[in-house]
């Protein structure tokens, strides 16, 4: 995973601030620890996760008898790696056929993420199909179909306002008939009421289970990193109504503080599958915990 773009955004600023806190001081004291804590919190790392990091950092300093501030960066990096590394869960299933349900609020980059993921999977040699099942957002199907045409992926869609489960049904039949490896379904762009969303998702999942029992499943939540703590609230809400298998964090190339990745991985025990780091089709990168944490110190 290349971290060039993230370094210009989240990593560049956080690395500079952490560096100042560590390397501009001659000794480890409470002022320095308070400054690190403040930096973590203002980088959109939640209070509970920040407290956990700081407690483990104090133990690391004590256990290793560290006296120089610059020598704690390895400990801080290792702590963050432990919080965000979910092992094989960080990787998208490589089994085929595979059905991926993509959910997330409108405006969070869900549709473009689907296009990027479809492109990435095609580059890996897999055949891909889209299902435009977010039928209640105006022109959502047309938007997905345009992306599909650009990257050479067929899109199954119905008219606006159609039953999302009917779209899923037709897409499954088409995917099976054509021997498609991965069916990516654009779904659930609303969170008005948990009950309605849960009912809609349950219905779609039942269709997949009934019509495509041999397919492996992923349910990915797309979150906009620029939304900061609001994105964390979205993760909590969606996690309560859907059996999420992972998160894709978008727009990590801009002004995003990026700490939400650490918070979501820790507080929800949620694997991060991909990072969106730009507008191009190639700008969707597989999440790597060691490189992500190491990027904080430009390592």
Contact 60, 69 (CB under 8 A): no
User: Is 253 annotated as contributing to ligand binding?
Assistant: yes
User: Is 170 annotated as contributing to ligand binding?
Assistant: no
User: Is 107 annotated as contributing to ligand binding?
Assistant: yes
User: Is 92 annotated as contributing to ligand binding?
Assistant: no
User: Is 250 annotated as contributing to ligand binding?
Assistant: yes
User: Is 217 annotated as contributing to ligand binding?
Assistant: no
Long-range pairs for 24-29: beta carbons < 8 A, 24 or more residues apart: 25/69, 26/69, 27/67, 27/68, 27/69, 28/61, 28/66, 28/67, 28/68, 28/69, 28/72
Beta strand segments in the chain, E: 98-103, 128-132, 154-156, 182-186, 216-224, 246-250, 272-276, 284-286
What ranges in 43-179 are assigned the alpha helix state H?
47-63, 73-84, 110-123, 140-151, 164-178
CB count, 10 Å around CB of 240?
Answer: 11
User: Is 44 annotated as contributing to ligand binding?
Assistant: no
User: Is 148 annotated as contributing to ligand binding?
Assistant: no
Residues linked to residue 220 through DSSP beta bridges, in sequence order? 102, 246
User: Is 224 annotated as contributing to ligand binding?
Assistant: no
User: Is 187 annotated as contributing to ligand binding?
Assistant: yes
User: Is 76 annotated as contributing to ligand binding?
Assistant: no
User: Is 252 annotated as contributing to ligand binding?
Assistant: yes
Q: Rounded to an integer, what distance in angstroms lies between the CA atom of residue 90 and that of residue 97?
A: 19
User: Is 193 annotated as contributing to ligand binding?
Assistant: no
Residue 286 backbone dihedrals phi, psi, to 5 degrees: -65, 140
Q: Rounded to an integer, what distance in angstroms lies between the CA atom of residue 185 and that of residue 175?
A: 12
CB count, 10 Å around CB of 93?
Answer: 17
User: Per the annotation, where are the binding residues?
Assistant: 104-111, 186-190, 250-253
User: Per the annotation, where are the binding residues for GTP?
Assistant: 104-111, 186-190, 250-253
């Amino acid at each position: 995973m290349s971290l060039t773009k993230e370094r210009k955004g989240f990593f560049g600023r956080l690395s500079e601030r952490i560096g100042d806190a560590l390397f501009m001081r001659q000794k480890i004291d409470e002022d320095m620890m308070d400054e690190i804590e403040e930096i973590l919190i203002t980088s959109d790392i939640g209070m509970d996760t920040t407290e956990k990091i700081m407690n483990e950092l104090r133990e690391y300093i004590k256990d290793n008898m560290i006296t120089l501030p610059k020598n704690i960066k390895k400990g801080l990096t290792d702590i963050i790696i432990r919080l965000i590394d979910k092992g094989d869960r960080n990787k998208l299933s490589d089994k085929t056929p595979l059905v991926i349900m993509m959910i997330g609020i409108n405006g969070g980059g869900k549709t473009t993420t689907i296009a990027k993921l479809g492109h990435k999977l095609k580059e890996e040699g897999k055949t891909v199909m889209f299902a435009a099942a977010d039928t209640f957002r105006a022109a959502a199907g047309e938007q997905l179909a345009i992306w599909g045409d650009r990257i050479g992926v067929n899109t199954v869609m119905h008219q606006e306002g159609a039953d999302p489960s009917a779209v899923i049904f037709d897409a499954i039949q088409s995917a099976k008939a054509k021997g498609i490896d991965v069916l990516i379904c654009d779904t659930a762009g609303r969170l008005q009421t948990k009950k309605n969303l849960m009912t809609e998702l349950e219905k779609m999942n039942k269709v997949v289970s009934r019509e495509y029992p041999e397919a492996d499943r992923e349910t990915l939540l797309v979150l906009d990193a620029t939304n900061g703590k609001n994105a964390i609230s979205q993760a909590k809400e969606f996690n309560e109504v859907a059996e999420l298998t992972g998160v894709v964090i978008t727009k990590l190339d801009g002004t995003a503080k990026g700490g939400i990745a650490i918070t979501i991985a820790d507080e929800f025990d949620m694997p991060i599958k991909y990072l969106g780091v730009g507008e191009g089709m190639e700008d969707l990168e597989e999440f790597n915990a060691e490189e992500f944490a190491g990027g904080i110190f430009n390592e």
